[in-house]
Amino acid sequence: MKLLQTTLLASALALAAAGAPSPAHAVDALELVNRTLDQASDLAALPRQQVQLKRPPLVHEHDQVAKGGPKVVQFTLPIVEKEITIDGEGTKMHAMTFGGSIPGPLMVVHEGDYVEVTLVNLASNTMPHNIDFHAATGAMGGGDLTVVQPGEEVTLRWKATRPGTFVYHCAPGGPMTPWHVVAGMHGTIMVLPRDGLKDGEGKALRYDRAYYVGETEFYIPRDADGNFKAYGSHAESLPDTLAAMRGLVPSHVVFNGAAGALTGENAMKSKVGETVLVVHSQANRDTRPHLIGGHGDYVWEEGKFNNAPLKDLETWFIRGGSAGAALYTFHQPGMYAYVNHNLIEAVLLGAAAHFKVEGDKWNHDLMTTPSAVGAIAPDTDLSLPSSN
């Protein structure tokens, strides 16, 4: 702490000497020194929490209501460039990822906490990267402060001042920014209110499980015969990929990095009576989540918890470059489909997931079949009456 104080003092005095020749400026400089030291002392006194992130759709353990005062929440986020398979036909692409997954892990903190992220660009990577937090306050969301070459790391700290769900993504500049994003470099941070989620009347809302669905569109180039092309490296794929991106017609629109990544055996799980929080992000394009056979009991379409949630939605809207959140309590067992309700993108391009919900009894009052499936009776008149 003494070394930190000495360094801060020297920096502040250097600034004062460079631009404060008058006595009045000298007083301002002294105030700057004292304020800087006070802030450093306050931060040093805060408790620190090291969080072990989880691969989406899972979310790391967290308190829904903050315990105690603000703290410094520490995350380590390795950058991993790797080849992945994105559909059942074996289509491959060279991905760029935070934490080795698409999307990157969901981080959870509380309003007033300090977020401290160590970004590690592995030596095996080939490109510079950075991170832009939409939740942070400061030019470029920290992007200009976090540029790391392969084999380098950097730590960024910022204060979580606005509750909600916010996208983070790589933003190296120019065409590299959209390329890195659609190659997988995006994720979400959730800043919970210190007293937890509330409905529009201030009633506490809680969840039994939380899942994170990160939607991504890919732009895989095709050859003259219409087949997806394969490349030996990121650099080799770049010219063709940029050309495909300019067409604004994705080849794939998927949840969590691949078509089928959250379906069947990979379905998200719940039980009848449980309330599930689903955080859904799309860093680049608009999307319209819909739970087939369920609803959005409470939905923060814009992902901002200072705003009252919408209620009883059938389909909600997530703007490109944002993350939203929805709560739903399951009332019936079964396999539910959770889709982007642009059904072309859901069925043909891959934007679909499953919830497998366990329960002992089916509630026939909510849904039943009064008559079994059978043949249509002969001579049945099924025509509708005319408007006359």
165 is catalytic: no
- Check 280, 290, 295, 354 and give the catalytic one: 290
**From CA 327, how far away is CA 267, in angstroms rounded?**
18
Task: Give pLDDT tens digits along the chain (388 positions).
Answer: 444 444 444 444 444 444 444 555 566 766 766 666 566 668 999 999 999 999 999 999 999 999 999 999 999 999 999 999 999 999 999 999 999 999 999 999 999 999 999 999 999 999 999 999 999 999 999 999 999 999 999 999 999 999 999 999 999 999 999 999 999 999 999 999 999 999 999 999 999 999 999 999 999 999 999 999 999 999 999 999 999 999 999 999 999 999 999 999 999 999 999 999 999 999 999 999 999 999 999 999 999 999 999 999 999 999 999 999 999 999 999 999 999 999 999 999 999 999 999 999 999 999 999 999 999 988 888 888 877 6
185 is catalytic: yes
**Would the annotation count 354 as a binding residue?**
no
- Check 180, 186, 280, 354 and give the catalytic one: 180
Checking DSSP bridges between strand 310-313 and strand 296-300, what pairing results, if any? antiparallel
**From CA 22, how far away is CA 240, in angstroms rounded?**
60
134 is catalytic: yes
| Per-residue tokens: 237 | 């794929």
- Check 96, 107, 170, 245 and give the catalytic one: 170
| Per-residue tokens: 105 | 């892990």
CATH number among 3.40.50.2000, 2.60.40.10, 2.60.40.420, 3.40.50.2300, domain 42-195 = 2.60.40.420
3-state secondary structure 333-349: CEEEEEEECCHHHHHHC
- Check 38, 236, 314, 358 and give the catalytic one: 314
- Check 93, 96, 107, 185 and give the catalytic one: 185
335 is catalytic: no
How far is the first Cα of the chain from the last one, in angstroms, to the nearest whole number? 88
User: What residues have CB less than 8 Å from 293, skipping those under 6 apart?
Assistant: 332, 334, 336, 337
25 is catalytic: no
Architecture of domain 214-358 in this structure: Sandwich (2.60)
**From CA 236, how far away is CA 229, in angstroms rounded?**
11
How much is the pTM? 0.89
240 is catalytic: no
368 is catalytic: no
Checking DSSP bridges between strand 275-282 and strand 164-169, what pairing results, if any? unpaired
354 is catalytic: no
DSSP, collapsed to helix, strand or coil, labels residue 137 as coil
Task: Check if 42-195 and 214-358 are the same fold.
Answer: yes
**Would the annotation count 96 as a binding residue?**
no
- 168, 130 contact by CB (below 8 A): no
- Check 81, 110, 165, 169 and give the catalytic one: 169
Domain boundaries in the chain? 42-195, 214-358
**From CA 229, how far away is CA 234, in angstroms rounded?**
13
Residue 308 sits at the vertex; the CA angle it makes with 304 and 314, to the nearest 5 degrees, is 90
62 is catalytic: no
**Would the annotation count 341 as a binding residue?**
yes
pLDDT at 364: 97
